[in-house]
Structure 1
Amino acid sequence: MSRIRLLPDQLVNQIAAGEVVERPASVVKELVENSLDSGAARIQLDLDAGGRNRIQVRDDGAGMGRDELALALQRHATSKIASLHDLERVASLGFRGEALPSIASVSRLSLTSREAAADAGWCLHCDGGKPDGEVAPAAHPVGTTVEVRDLFYNTPARRRFLRTDRTEFGHVQELLRKLAMARFDVALQFRHNQRQVLDLPAAQDQSAREQRLARLLGSNFVEQALYLEREATDLRLTGWIGLPTASRGQPDMQYLFVNGRAVRDRSAAHAVRRAYQDVLFKERHPTYVLYLQVDPGQVDVNVHPAKSEVRFRDGRLIYDFVFRTVSEALAGVRPQAVAEDSPAVPSAVEHDWPRQAPVRDPAPLPRASGLALGEPDARYAPATLPPRPVSAGRQPESNGHAVPRTDSPVPALGYALAQIHGVYILAENPAGLVLVDMHAAHERIVYERMKQQYAAQGVQVQNLLTPVSLAVSQAEADLAEAQCESFAAVGLEVDRSGPETLVVRGLPALLRGADAAQLVRDVLADILAEGDSRRLTERLNYILATMACHGSVRANRQLELAEMNALLRDMENTPNAGQCNHGRPTWTQLDMQALDRLFLRGQ
């Protein structure tokens, strides 16, 4: 082995390029982020051959002076941090000062820039990281243009790893989508092989932001999403979450931005997934675009070379904040919310539900109607209901179900008309026709009521006739001993009987018959991996959901009109009433336009 020596600067830059520059999209990311950090209001991106042959980024940001051009191509030269304090509170997208020299070392790069106070711009060319001549005057507007040609021309092994132009273009397109969602205030223009791909004006208000989202993710996302906004001490979460009915087969429409930076965070993603667990159909994935604002001192963005991951100082606080905000927003999606936010109920056939749900604590569930928890076989009892108005010119029915005219506002789900084959309730509201799956709807009502009662009464413990002993590691035994109060809070009675032995003496009553040893092992594994355990809560909710399913009204049950109306009123006041416990929709709306289309009226 040869003696220790310093590596040449050129080789150091190329090694750094291996971390920073994976493909053309990596170059685009670094250059566009530099433009955003410079205060640009408009950014233009031009690509040739997927970025393999040419990448050009032009902005109208602050620009650079003559002396700064050469300095910008040196390693660890940056205007964004100057001290350890700055590094601990990074507010810019870039800060390491490695991007430009790394990119220049594996390409032919030209850098042209002009400051606002200067009469002209300056230009510097590099070939493989080496300056090709001196800094020269150049005609250029205020701002900066970086042109990268022949990426990886001097590292042919790296160039061979590039995919087809179409594939590389797709990676750039996805990156631009994230950047466009991160900075609504910046206009973006994107051309590929001289063809316009994107031309997004700055979006300064809510309507313009949703228009940009519709162009980037499709109009269906915006039409089937809720806008949420919540603020706490040093934390703020805003954005859009897709309705459960707008879920996807893959987690390919999930975007999280932390302080304006697109990142991946397993804990935050799990918090969102858990918020959807009661309302999402099996093997489906939610859609969302969420913006989390955190005190920069509470988040470390310097944990990944590409800055695509972050680490939170208090991860549990972030998890709970995201989970609570998303779950409460979803709980606010109920028929009653539709009536409050719009004069007519939108069509649930296209799942066009309200786009904004107020984040609020769920209202207490009604007790005046529906099945009592201990009476799963009881029928829906008639409830005191506001009378259904009779349309002008219509004579009251003679079957005893007619209700006299009233000036009371019509509820969101309207009033029942009939029952179809003992399965569906047919109702009328101001928008048109409402169809309700009575079993699915009642299943959700009973489930939410059971959860509320279970939370109020606490966890009932079932003592084991024969305590179960299990061998664990010393670390797991220490953890169980330290978390004994947390275990007791969820109905697990666990004692330590030796350095590596635990004894389970009690389980939650609802989980009687469960494998006690495996349950404790699972909970310990969760705490070690995530900092706490949600497995028990999930299992208890599963048991409650199963009980609710078996305790709700069954198909072919004939209901009286008053019983149907009682069910509709309960739905309007129940969190997550749009889906049953398995994530299936509970009701749908056919508005008058949809009905007219069915019968070709007006065509």
Structure 2
Amino acid sequence: VHPAKADVRFRDPGLVRGLIVGAIREALAGAGIRAATSGAAGMMAAFRPGAAPYAHPGPTAGHRSYEAAYHASGFSGFDHGSNLARSPQRPLDMGDARQPRNGFAESEQAAFDTGPLASADARAGTAEPPEALLGLALGAARAQVHENYIVAQTRDSLVIVDQHAAHERLVYEALKNALHSRAVPSQMLLLPEIVDLPEEDAERLAMHSGTLAKFGLGLERFGPGAVAVRETPSMLGETNVQQLVRDLADEIADNDTVETLKERLDRIAATMACHGSVRSGRMLKAEEMNALLRQMEATPGSGTCNHGRPTYIELKLADIERLFGRR
């Protein structure tokens, strides 16, 4: 384009972008799950005598916008007093059993079932965790603090897990696996949910209704500027249908022209996963916390959430002992 060849225009920019993004994602996926070490190292350094207060690098602009939208959405999450799996569904295939580079044992197992998460004692109990659990990568759950962080113990470290971020990633991977096997279970709503939208958003959703149906979301036009939702993915449980549909409309509007079909499906899965994950502020039983840890160990990429933030950090016992002058 530019006489000095400073600018280049591609005939199909969407195809070029898809190739670049696909190559990057493939490289990152091959790295497997990793503990977040930079944040833990900075936090530990801040405790040393004379050290400056630790300042977390903070989220990117995209992460900040996600957080603002999340807090403003007013989701109530799952119904605290009801069984989340209202319709029978078969366990999802979590993929071929492979040995990832980090050494986690990956095996086929059912998608993490949150079950009825009514108020429960958040402590993992006073009994010592079984020795077998201490030898696992994420150890045994010992407590839940601030109704969002799971504290687990291994033989030589302390692990802190962000329950919402971790489960969001698990739901995302389960959705992708179910989509690949064409087996995303759906549940019929007793009464259709009518969602009012700008006309262009309603039209986009109607145009992509076939794609959304693959995720278990059944919707159709309902007059000018509205859609009727008749089915939702079973694995999302009780979710805010209105907000889910509006978020999906935004995703499609923002990425409808440049993304490949695979990228678009991944984005839809990520949006649905956020609506179907265990919310912050939910008290979990010991068995639920341990089930989440085991599912993380079996899921590639579970070390980061869908937005690139770590789902857990690991503090080595040796580093903790140094803080108290034991080493």
Task: Answer 1 or 2: which has greater helix percent.
Answer: 2
TM-score by length of 2: 0.49
Task: Answer 1 or 2: which has greater strand percent.
Answer: 1
Larger gyration radius, structure 1 or structure 2: 1
TM-score by length of 1: 0.30
Bigger relative contact order, structure 1 or 2 (CA pairs below 8 A, ≥6 apart): 2
